[in-house]
Structure 1
Amino acid sequence: MDIQIRKIVSFEEETLIEGNKVADKPLRMFAVAAIVKNPWVGEFVENLRPVVRDYGPQLGALLTEKICALAGGADKIEAFGKAAVVGLSGEVEHASALIHTLHFGNHYREAVQAKSFLSFTNTRGTANAPIVIPMMDKNDGGRRSHYLTLQFNINDAPCDDEIVVVLGGASGGRPHHRIGDRYEELKELGHDIDNPAAV
């Protein structure tokens, strides 16, 4: 099945001052979104996997190439995440299907040489709906400095029969981060750092 991409949108912001203090290093956050025709719209499809296996690699490769270029190279990306917003005629499952697959996410993970999983949101909305991308350190899920959220919107997407598929990235952590990492609190609570669920 041919994927129908209506357009691709890039978004970038750069934080220079936070909390009335100049950042030692400006924080760049960026995203690339593909607005695609929902292949399942208008009917209940029991097995989504054939389309997922077809669309996932195409979208993963395309968006990974574009976000790495926007970042100035894959090595410039320290935090990452993903998101999808399905239009009102679709199911949240349709948004989930296109981003919760290794056929999609592994393109990005491998390009930036990441160990962490891609944090995510999958929602339903109208055109101009908020697109929210939670991010974390690509190699260290407990590094709270890199718990970031990028939000933007596209004025004409998603249409009711579309899905917006997004990759997000950041060049570093929050300016002036000072809440510590998870590991300190795990030690304080007497938890095993390698097995946080254990008492």
Structure 2
Amino acid sequence: MPEPQIRKTAMIVETIHHEGGPAPDVPQRRAAAMAVIKNPFAGRYVEDIAPFMKDLEPLGAQMAQDLVAALGGDAAQVEGYGKGAIVGAAGEIEHGALWHVPGGYAMRDAIEKSAAIVPSTKKVGPVGARLDVPVTHTNASYVRSHYDAMEVGIPDAPRADEIVLVLVMTTGGRIHARMGGLAAADVKGEDGLR
């Protein structure tokens, strides 16, 4: 397979000072890196699509590094992550699933303490489709304070023959999390869960 043909990239960075309650000492930040690529399988059924995952690895690595930089450059401060894909109308949901391995492992390689599964979502959608990308703690999936999502999208994408690939990272949990459960400070980091 040829390397991915990128039409455009985009970065969204949010700094959350509060959600109606008291402002924390350090605002929470979250960012989404997006890449709009041509879908090499659009408009036809192709049985063996898995090799394209390898072709996506360099793009995933670059997007993950760009996210760390957008959040201040310190990989140790990243506490949450997630990934997703929006497939254009001439593609199929399975084309978005190709992002699981190259997107997820790229983020794990770019940050510290990343034993937890990288949550993911995908859909087939029209131009301008939005996607809620799920986010959990990077090292322990049971940390409730980090259960979150970031809504993303690009106004002119995906075109029918494109895929929007998305990676999300955060520097903390929800700004006013108070539902109890395992605290981030108490993570053992042994199994990706606790």
Task: Report the TM-score when normalising by structure 2.
Answer: 0.87
Per-residue deviation at 1:168?
A: 0.1
In structure 1, runs of 5+ residues without a counterpart are 184-193
SS at match of 2:26: strand
Q: Does 1:108 align with 2:112?
A: no
Partner of 1:65: 65
Q: Please list the CA deviations of residues 123-154 of structure 1 after superposition, one character each: whole Å capped at 9, or x if unmatched.
A: 11112111211111101111111111111221
Report the alpha carbon displacement of residue 182 of structure 1 after superposing the two structures with TM: 5.9
Partners of 2:84 and 2:121 within 8 A in 1: yes
* C-alpha separation in 1, matches of 2:22 and 2:77: 24
What secondary structure does 1:23 align onto?
Answer: coil
Partner of 2:31: 30
User: Take 2:21 and 2:176, find their aligned partners in 1: how far apart are those partners?
Assistant: 11
Runs of 4+ with deviation above 6 angstroms? none
Task: Map Cα deviations across residues 102-135 of structure 1 (whole Å, 9 max, x no partner).
Answer: x442121021121111101111111211121111
Task: Tell me by how many angstroms 1:37 deviates.
Answer: 0.1
- The one-letter amino acid paired with 1:157 is A
Q: Deviations over 1:16-39 (max 9, x none)?
A: 121343234311111100100001
The corresponding residue for 2:179 is 179
Aligned residue type for 2:24: A
Is the contact between residue 25 and residue 175 of structure 1 (CA under 8 Å) also seen in structure 2?
no
Equivalent residues in 2 for 1:81-160 (5 A)?
Answer: 81-97=82-98, 99-101=99-101, 103-113=102-112, 114-160=114-160
In 2, Cα distance between equivalents of 1:22 and 1:72: 20
Q: Tell me how far apart the structure 2 counterparts of residues 128 and 33 of structure 1 sit (CA, whole Å).
A: 13
**Alpha-carbon distance between aligned partners in 2 of 1:119 and 1:18, rounded to the nearest angstrom:** 24
> Residues of 2 paired with 1:182 and 1:77: CA distance?
18
Contact 1:67 1:169 in 2 (8 A): yes
- 1:5 corresponds to which letter in structure 2? I
Could you tell me which residue of structure 2 aligns to residue 52 of structure 1?
A: 53
**How many residue pairs are counted as aligned between the two chains?**
182
Letter in 2 for 1:110: D
TM-score by length of 1: 0.85
- Aligned equivalents of 2:139 and 2:13: distance in 1? 22
| Secondary structure, aligned partner of 2:61 | helix
Instruction: State the match for 1:43 in structure 2.
Output: 44
Partner letter of residue 9 of structure 1? A
Aligned to 2:13: 12
Query: Within 1, Cα distance between the matches of 2:150 and 2:5?
Result: 26
Structure 2 regions of 5+ residues with no counterpart? 184-190
Question: How many Å separate the matches in 1 of 2:76 and 2:21?
Answer: 30
Give the drift of 1:7.
0.7
Q: CA deviation at 1:171?
A: 0.8
CA RMSD of superposed structures (Å):
1.8
